[in-house]
Amino acid sequence: MSDRRPLFAANWKMYKGPTETLEFARRFVEQYAPHEDRDVLICPPSISLVALVEAFGSRADLGVGVQDIHQEVEGAHTGSISAGMAADAGATWGLAGHSERRREFGDTDSMVAHKVVRLLEADLRPIVCVGETLDEREAGDLHAVLARQIAGVLDVVELGQASRLCYAYEPVWAIGTGLTAEPSDAAEAHAIIRAEIAGHTGEGTATAAIILYGGSVKPSNIEKLMAAEGVDGVLVGGASLDPGSFSQICSAA
């Protein structure tokens, strides 16, 4: 039995401005009672960070994260925010390398690694997103893709900081498609990720690493996913936009 503390994380993507965020928070805190054995995190759009931080102010069990930051500390980067800005707004976590950032905005492994370093420098805890496309999966490249993406980060992060990283396995073919990896698929990928972490940082860091599953997570499959070997939590997309649905997910055994 793992002693890793489960993490239930939400990625709202480009949904919910400050007004909707306040309404969600009001309803969510009414429906989700604190659980001492787990952590809950929501990553809203950056424009709604402050609203959510203030709404969750009295709930220490609820964290707020930033969806993406620029790989530089500051500069002429119109439309971007830095890790320091996110921390100043009250965020304590940050996503890096989400598949949509890689696909839509061209985030390379090197860019993702630099973003992870910036998050750590700002004392934000990174969640490193990794995963394969359908073409890569069908070509038998699951292990190679995960190994490359993890090495890109751990070859840059200082060894002493590696224990602060969390990971999210997101099979790209299961995001927004309604498809979900079977527990055996998730277990296989999580085992690969943990082995790659061990190869770079040692068994101790790998054993303690929290690895989330992300890909069409919903109340109807949360119990099955959480029961999969090596799954320490979930990164939820669409199902996290409704406070009742996300509350059900966060309350899973």
Catalytic residues: 98, 170
Compute the distance between CA of residue 76 and CA of residue 51 in angstroms, rounded to an integer: 26
Q: Quick one: tokens of 105?
A: 């905005």
Query: Looking up tokens 């969390």, which residue turns up?
Result: 166
Q: Quick one: tokens of 106?
A: 């061209």
Q: Could you tell me which of 49, 101, 50, 99 has the C-alpha nearest to residue 71?
A: 101
Compute the distance between CA of residue 53 and CA of residue 214 in angstroms, rounded to an integer: 23
The size of the chain, in residues, is 253
How many CB atoms within 10 Å of residue 207?
13
Compute the distance between CA of residue 42 and CA of residue 112 in angstroms, rounded to an integer: 20
Q: Quick one: tokens of 242?
A: 């409704």
Q: Do the strands 62-66 and 93-96 form a parallel or antiparallel pair, or are they unpaired?
A: parallel
